[in-house]
Amino acid sequence: MVVVHCDAGKGRTGTVIASALIFGGYMPSAEDALDFYGRKRFSNGSGVTQPSQRRYVSYLEDVYKQRVLSPAPKELRKVVIGTRPDIAKFRPYFAVYCRDAKTLVYSSKKVCAQGRDEHKGKSARDEKFPISPNATIQLCGDFHVSVYQEKAMFSDELLCRMSFNTALVPRSKYLFRGEITHRCSVLRFYKHELDPDSVSQDIRLRSDFYVELTFADVCDKCNSYVPIEQYCPRCLQAAALEADNWKNMRRIIEENNYPTSADELCGSAKVRKSAIGAFLHELSNRAGTDVSLPDPQLFRHSRHHVPCQRDAS
């Protein structure tokens, strides 16, 4: 028996179990795995609700299906906060943290305070707040970006945050915004995609509120679609802390020969069923309900929706 647990047995537990369902070949996509977990764990089907946890399950799918091969280093050039929240004296700034969510990489608090006068007198709700860092922020791997409201008398308020991996930043392209500047890529997180999940209930933020991160490539040659072994020396150095993890992931994926077609998926699921069954039996105990694996044959008919059925075995 394998026990999967965390404090609440909801978000982190669900992230691991949904990932295991994909790894075991039982679910063809992150969306299916999260949906299956949600329906079995809670009567209302809510399951994993933190947007970044859901995003990381889809990251696992992308990595596992080898849509991305390496942790491309990127340079964070700009953060734009889209639409003004209903906050008197909106004083935003952002901070970037390492994967532990505690080690600060960069904070724009000072540069935002210096440039704040230019925002005076503007009050349109559709106003955008672009923040350009005053330092080079080169990132490679997992990071958190938090957006704060600076407060004079009290602790600054966390408005929202988001977690991402630079490997999953979209391929760079030329952006036409008045003039061609440079190749860059944009990650935009809308209100419902921001952590914590309570952000989606924050009535101070409009429904079209977003935070946009603009990245530039650090190299023309090395990107997420190039194996790390083929990186140039400069990018290899930037990815040094990530290299072993990605090499290990590729080795595991290649050894397991992840299936890419529905037919292969069925065969794979049969082989892996015994290994992963323990996860689901524990889930069944926690949820107080039957948790059964879907029949792998169902994958033949649909790669997007797998109905739940009792497993005779």
Question: Interface with Zn ion by CB under 5 A: which residues?
Answer: 219, 221-222, 232, 235
Nearer to Zn ion, 234 or 300 (CB): 234
- Choice between 52 and 224, CB closer to Zn ion: 224
Enumerate the β-bridge partners of residue 137. Answer: 76
Q: How far is the CB of 234 from Zn ion (least distance, A)?
A: 6
Which phi and psi angles does 61 have, rounded to 5°?
-60, -45
Minimum CB separation of residue 170 from Zn ion in Å reads 18
The residue of the chain with the least Cβ separation from Zn ion equals 219
Say how far apart CA 68 and CA 152 lie, in whole Å. 44
Q: What's phi and psi for 245, nearest 5 deg?
A: -60, -45
Q: Of 95 and 228, which has the nearer Cβ to Zn ion? A: 228
Identity of the residue, 89 or 221, whose beta carbon is nearer to Zn ion in the bound complex: 221
Q: Give the angle subtended at the CA of 11 by the CAs of 168 and 28, to the nearest 5°.
A: 55
Q: Shortest gap between Cβ of 168 and Zn ion (angstroms)?
A: 18
Report, in Å, the least distance between residue 218 CB and Zn ion.
7
Pair 113, 150: CB distance under 8 Å? yes
What minimum distance in Å lies between the beta carbon of 239 and Zn ion? 9
Per the rule left: phi > 0, alpha: psi between -120 and 50, beta: everything else, 121 is left
Nearer to Zn ion, 140 or 298 (CB): 140
Q: Which is nearer to Zn ion, 74 or 91 (CB)?
A: 74
Enumerate the β-bridge partners of residue 211.
81, 189
What's the closest the beta carbon of residue 220 comes to Zn ion, in angstroms? 8
The torsion angle over the Cα atoms of residues 31, 50, 144 and 201, rounded to 10 degrees, is 120
Class of residue 35 by CB neighbours under 10 A (exposed 0-12, middle 13-18, buried 19+): buried
